[in-house]
Amino acid sequence: MLHDFAHERQQVLLRQRNRFALMSAGLVIALAIAGGFAVTRSREVVLLPTLEKPLTITSAGVSAEYLEFVTRDVALMLLNRSPEALDYWMQTILTIADPAHRGALKAELMKIVAEQRGSDVTQAFVITAMRVDPDTLTSEVTGELKTFVGQQVIASDKRRFRLAWTYRGLRLGLAGFAQVSTDQDKEEEG
């Protein structure tokens, strides 16, 4: 009798173990499928509208409109500076910099800060043209760069600057910027 009771109890435990193993296997398969969907599916984040229309970015890439708006804001931030706000200017640019390029950008910005600190030289940039390429993550801005000493304009030149970007996850980061030489401008115009 005791033997029959023990055998019956073992059978109940065996069925429970088998059901638990089957449920666990099903959950592992469901988790693997859900993980696959999460990794391969494009993610979207709705951004606050900065102009007349709302923008979105996805993990699939950057849209030309979004790259244009970011380029406009960053170019104006980079090229409009005064000695009174140099520390804020540098910190703001470094917050949008790609972490992998932050050191090189900081070195470039420190040169500009050292050169301009303590002077009366202010710089203002007015964008006249912009070109963006979301495939290569580059953009170019062309405009009038005016240099002031006090209230007087001492220089006003047409300049073109190239900005390089990186895109990781859903973060667009500044990778570098440089003035495009005037020789290249003359070759492209000719």
Q: Look at residue 190 and tell me whether its pLDDT is greater than 50.
A: no
Provide the residue type at 180 as one letter.
V
The arithmetic mean of pLDDT across residues 39-64, rounded, is 70
Provide the residue type at 60 as one letter.
A
Give 181's pLDDT tier (boundaries 50, 70, 90).
confident
Residue 125: in which H helix or E strand, if any? strand 121-133
Instruction: Record the pTM.
Output: 0.68
Position 54 scores a pLDDT of 65
Q: What does the alpha-carbon distance between residue 63 and residue 44 come to, in Å, rounded to a whole number?
A: 12
Q: What does the alpha-carbon distance between residue 72 and residue 90 come to, in Å, rounded to a whole number?
A: 17
φ, ψ (nearest 5 deg) of residue 118: 80, 0
